[in-house]
Amino acid sequence: MARSLPRRRFVRLVPALSMVMVLTLVSTGAPTAAAAVPGELVVNGTFDDGTTAPFWTTGNLTPTAAVVDGQLCTVVPAGTVNPWDAIIGQDNISLVEGTDYTFSFFASGDPTGPVRALVQLPVDPFTAYITLNQSPVPGGAVYSGSFTSPVTLPTAQVAFQVGGSATAWNLCLDNISLLGGGEAPQYEPDTGPRVRVNQVGYLRFGPKRATLVTEAADPVTWSLEDAGGVVVASGSTTPLGVDAGSALNVHKIYFTSFRIIRYGYTVVADG
């Protein structure tokens, strides 16, 4: 469901050091609960509840498998021979013959190690309907692939076979997803407020810039207001055109000359 974007953005300027002012953002809108994704077959693939259930691990991973910073992380032991000597998995995945599925996940490895990710029959002959062989590295990446199920199977398995490394390594998984059998989710970018500022801070005597997302082609006025609504700085935006990364039309707001540290400032532009 699309949501309206706030037109005003509240900022706080806090003295951290004598020459630095830190800016923090306070959202003007209440957060909304995350909705279930239509057609998602993996349960708790984002580990948002702080647990790894219903994922299971083989005994050589169980002592270390835990949710760390919202990801399932574990130490893969050294000296295993086969990929299936160490496994993270989830059972009872329901597949429908002739249905298209997209399998995706995030993985990082430190230093690195083999990951064989499958959607498969969980018993002999362990038929794999998709296999993604990866070697994730620090920082990680998202891996994905698609397949059409040749069978109707209510007991399929998502498995990450991570054995076969001569040395121990750290593995983290997140956003494990198997989409299919339902309405495909439509991409709706969370673009945030139309006035965007540095979320970390500004040097008191350094450059201060904000970005305005607007359809206007010509400069528009902007103002910086204190907590009482008094304008303490103002000017006109500088149109920059369409940003290549976001495909949004943007203007720049410059307020470098403002150097007073106070609380409760609001940047207002284009309504």
In angstroms, the CA 31 to CA 241 distance is 31
Model pLDDT, residue 17: 32
Model pLDDT, residue 90: 96
Model pLDDT, residue 147: 95
What number of CA atoms fall less than 13 Å from residue 53's CA on the CB side? Answer: 2
Look up residue 141 and give its two tokens: 């990446």
Q: pLDDT digit string (tens) for 122-177?
A: 999 999 999 999 999 998 999 999 999 999 999 999 999 999 999 999 999 999 99
Query: Would the CA dihedral through 240, 242, 245, 247 be positive or negative?
Result: positive
Taking CB atoms within 8 Å and a gap of at least 24, the contacts of 183-191 are 183/38, 183/39, 184/38, 184/39, 185/37, 185/38, 185/39, 188/2, 191/5, 191/246, 191/248
Look up residue 208 and give its two tokens: 């201060």
**Which positions of the chain have pLDDT values less than 70?**
1-38, 181-191
Model pLDDT, residue 27: 32
In angstroms, the CA 195 to CA 211 distance is 6
| CATH class of the region 56-180 | mainly beta
- Whole-structure pTM over 0.85, yes or no? no
Residue 54: asked if its preceding bond is cis (omega within 30°), the reply is yes
Look up residue 159 and give its two tokens: 């498995």
Q: Where along the chain do its domains lie?
A: 8-30+189-269, 56-180
CATH number of 8-30+189-269: 2.60.40.10
